[in-house]
Every structure is written in structure tokens, then in C-alpha cells.
Amino acid sequence: MTTPLRVILVDDHEIVRQGLRALLEGEQDIEVVGEADSGKSAVEFVRIHNPDVVVMDVRMPEGSGVEACRDIRAEYPDMQVIMLTSFSDDEALFNSIMAGAAGFVLKQIRGHDLVEAIRKVGAGQSLLDPGVTKRVLERLRKAKFEEKDAKLARLSPQEERILDMVGEGLTNKEIAERIHLSDKTVKNYVSTILQKLEVARRAEAASYVARVRAEETSQHHSTE
């Protein structure tokens, strides 16, 4: 008898984890060895349980799934990660693939299809269809062509706009008033920006964007 695939489930909603566990426990060749409720605890659980496959939500408090995927893949290059998300989002898809995820599936996926997806990545295969891979490669080529800073290239246009305002020294409240969003929405944007830039504080983000913008300006002048 072959050894069952060891799986860890990561989602900040307990009911989602329970549903996934109930689905997988009926399979002879899959064993759920742990559950985590945040990106941070996911990395710790991976070190303890050494799973074959991690099934992880994209968006969670205390470190996003994308960030946790990047950390897990850096430490365990052979470990497979499937990212789960509630809605189709090119930005999350791109960031998940860049972080080394083997697949990206919607939570609306049928139970049987998710089980097959886990088996597939457990066997070392990718879930990414050629169309998705092509979109990511095109975006990478475009970023390279534009010579955009690699970390800034992770940001959506709205996130980059908000980062520039952080760089101007604006508070969340001032940013919210300027672009007609709630303070909470701006706070969430800033949190995502810090994760994507791999910095802990907004002051670090402000100095990062100031440095990049200064380099862009000097490059622009040198080519004129």
C-alpha cells in the first residue's frame, strides 16, 4: 500500500477547514495532518508536520497565503502549495504563481475536482493551464521591458497610487478622503502593500518608493 499524501489545510474560517477535512478524510490515499488559521501559523505547522501538499487560502490575517507560500517554497522547494480563493482575481493569481504555487483554484470547485487537484500536485504536476501560464509570462516580459522595479511590479495600479500618497506622508484618513474610499479600505490596501514590498512599516514603504522614484528619474534624465 502506498503512503498517503500528507496534507495541511490553511484557512482563517474554521467551517471551511472542517468542510475540507470532511471531504478529504473519506479518501484512502490522503491524510490531513494539520490545520492552520493564518499564513504565519501555516509556516510553523509545515515545519512541524512536513506535509506533501498545503491547501491554503489566498487572503488571511497575520500574513497572507501568498506570503506564506513564498516562505514555505523558499524553505521546502519540493513542497506543493495549492492556493484557494473565493473569486477569480488576476492579481492574486499572478502573485500566487510568482510565490511558487503549484495551482490556484476557486473555493466553488467541486469536491471531487479538489481531491484530484491535490493528487495531481502531490505527484509533482502543475495545475496551471497553458493560458494562465501565458498570461503570467506576458506580464513578466512586460515588466522586464518597462524595467519596472520587481517589487513595485507586484502592486495593482490602485495600490501603487496609494503607495505614492504614503510616500507623500499622507495618513490613511487623508488618502481615504482624496480617493473617496473608507479609512478601513485604505488600511487594508496599505497592509497588502507592505506585504508585497516585504517591509513591516509604512515608513519603510515610503522610503522604498522614494528611492525607486529617484532612480527612475535619474534613469529618465540619463536617456534624454
pLDDT digits (tens, 9 = 90+) for 84-93: 887 766 777 7
- Measured distance CA(95)–CA(69) in Å, rounded: 10
Assigned C-alpha cell, 25:
478524510
Q: What is the pLDDT of residue 206?
A: 87
pLDDT value of position 129: 63
Question: What interhelical angle do 172-179 and 183-197 show, nearest 10?
Answer: 110
Domain positions in the chain are 5-133, 147-223
What count of other Cβ atoms lies within 10 Å of the Cβ of residue 122?
Answer: 20
For the domain 5-133, what is the CATH superfamily, name and number? Response regulator (3.40.50.2300)
Asked whether residue 131 carries a pLDDT value surpassing 70, the answer given is no
CATH fold match for the domains 5-133 and 147-223 = no
**pLDDT for the residue 224:** 47
Write down the pLDDT at residue 48: 93
CA–CA distance, 157 with 136 (Å, rounded to integer): 17
- pLDDT of 100 reads 86
Convert the pLDDT of each residue in 31-51 to its tens digit: 999 999 998 899 999 999 999
Give the pLDDT confidence of 136-176 residue by residue, as tens digits.
Answer: 666 666 655 455 677 888 888 888 889 989 988 899 999 99
For the chain, give the secondary structure using H, E and C.
CCCCEEEEEECCCHHHHHHHHHHHCCCCCEEEEEEECCHHHHHHHHHHHCCCEEEEECCCCCCCHHHHHHHHHHHCCCCEEEEEECCCCHHHHHHHHHCCCCEEEECCCCHHHHHHHHHHHHCCCCCCCHHHHHHHHHHHHHHHHHCCCCCHHHCCHHHHHHHHHHHCCCCHHHHHHHHCCCHHHHHHHHHHHHHHHCCCCHHHHHHHHHHHHHHHHHHHHHHC
CATH 1.10.10.10 fits domain 147-223: yes
Would you place residue 221 in the very low, low, confident or very high pLDDT band (cuts 50, 70, 90)? low
